[in-house]
């Protein structure tokens, strides 16, 4: 019996050799940087579903390259910036990465290629990468399309404050009536 390899210690070069896809569910408790961005006041958060596939790609006149395809789906509760209650944000990750042997190579080649570059590690922490990618997909200003309790504030112009009677003006008019 073989147990599934830990997603924090994946041997991607072996995975690529076997051409096998790995899939799993990551609880947000395993992703502490993401967890700290979530609104946990609502119902329990569903785990993040991920799939990863590594492959060797032949390259003309060079060593084959190791690539990784990471896909993920999540529904995460964030705090709506209009009504400050949880808003569930669905997001997906679908990205390709190419591994290089060092940080220097990554920096040198980064500008010339469209794919993301990662430095090869014999035991790769996939959950760390997953967490990075999800954090990048989070909206900067999460918001309900229509907030549950409030009328859509954004759609109606806010009354200019100078139309409201100034408290002293009200007081003055009361004084005037009292006279
Ligand atoms: Zn809202």
Centre of ligand 1 from the C-alpha of residue 19, in Å: 44
Rounded Cα gap, residues 149 and 152, in angstroms: 9
Q: Which residue has the tokens 């997909």?
A: 137
Residues 106-130 have a mean pLDDT of: 91
Determine the pLDDT at residue 61.
87
Determine the pLDDT at residue 161.
53
Per-residue confidence band for 60, with pLDDT thresholds at 50, 70 and 90: confident
When mean pLDDT is compared across 2-16, 69-83, 92-106, the lowest value belongs to 2-16
Q: Is 71 exposed, middle or buried (0-12, 13-18, 19+ CB in 10 A)?
A: middle
Q: Give me the residues paired with residue 116 across strands.
A: 97
Centre of ligand 1 from the C-alpha of residue 43, in Å: 16
The closest alpha carbon to 28, from 115, 131, 106, 107, belongs to 131
Centre of ligand 1 from the C-alpha of residue 146, in Å: 7
Q: Phi and psi dihedrals of 73, rounded to 5?
A: -135, 135
Centre of ligand 1 from the C-alpha of residue 149, in Å: 8
Centre of ligand 1 from the C-alpha of residue 76, in Å: 14
Rounded Cα gap, residues 6 and 81, in angstroms: 37
Average pLDDT, the chain: 87
Centre of ligand 1 from the C-alpha of residue 144, in Å: 4
Centre of ligand 1 from the C-alpha of residue 119, in Å: 40
How many residues does this entry show for the chain? Answer: 179
Residue with more model confidence, 135 or 152: 135
Task: Report the relative pairing of strands 48-59 and 86-100 from DSSP bridges.
Answer: unpaired
Answer whether 137's CB lies under 8 Å from 93's CB. Answer: yes
CA atoms within 13 A on the CB side of 3: 4
Centre of ligand 1 from the C-alpha of residue 72, in Å: 25
Rounded Cα gap, residues 124 and 128, in angstroms: 9
Centre of ligand 1 from the C-alpha of residue 47, in Å: 23
Centre of ligand 1 from the C-alpha of residue 176, in Å: 44
Q: Is 19 left (phi over 0), alpha (psi -120 to 50) or beta?
A: left
Determine the pLDDT at residue 34.
97
Rounded Cα gap, residues 84 and 79, in angstroms: 5
Total-model pTM: 0.78
Q: What is the pLDDT of residues 146-160, one digit of tens each?
A: 998 655 555 555 555
Of the chain, the end-to-end C-alpha distance in Å amounts to 95
Centre of ligand 1 from the C-alpha of residue 155, in Å: 13
Q: What is the pLDDT of residues 1-34, one digit of tens each?
A: 456 778 999 999 999 999 889 999 999 999 999 9
The pair of three-digit structure tokens given for residue 147, joined into one six-digit string: 């907030």
Centre of ligand 1 from the C-alpha of residue 99, in Å: 41
Centre of ligand 1 from the C-alpha of residue 154, in Å: 11
Percentage of the chain surpassing pLDDT 70?
Answer: 81
């Amino acid at each position: 019996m073989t147990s599934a390899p830990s997603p924090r210690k994946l041997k991607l070069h072996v995975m690529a050799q076997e051409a096998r896809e790995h899939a799993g569910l990551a609880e947000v408790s395993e992703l502490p940087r993401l967890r700290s961005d979530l609104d946990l006041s609502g119902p329990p958060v569903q785990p993040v579903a991920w799939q990863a596939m590594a492959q060797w790609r032949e390259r003309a006149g060079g060593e084959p390259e190791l690539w990784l395809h990471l896909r993920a789906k999540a529904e995460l509760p964030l705090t709506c910036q209009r009504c400050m209650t949880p808003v569930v944000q669905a997001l997906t990750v679908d990205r390709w990465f190419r591994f290089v042997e060092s940080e220097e190579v990554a920096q040198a080649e980064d500008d010339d290629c469209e794919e993301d570059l990662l430095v090869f590690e014999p035991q790769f922490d996939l959950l760390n990468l997953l967490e990075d990618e999800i954090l990048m997909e989070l909206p900067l200003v999460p918001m309900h399309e229509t907030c549950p309790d409030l009328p859509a504030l954004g759609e109606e112009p806010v009354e200019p404050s100078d139309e409201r009677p100034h408290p002293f003006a009200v007081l003055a008019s009361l004084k005037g009536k009292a006279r």
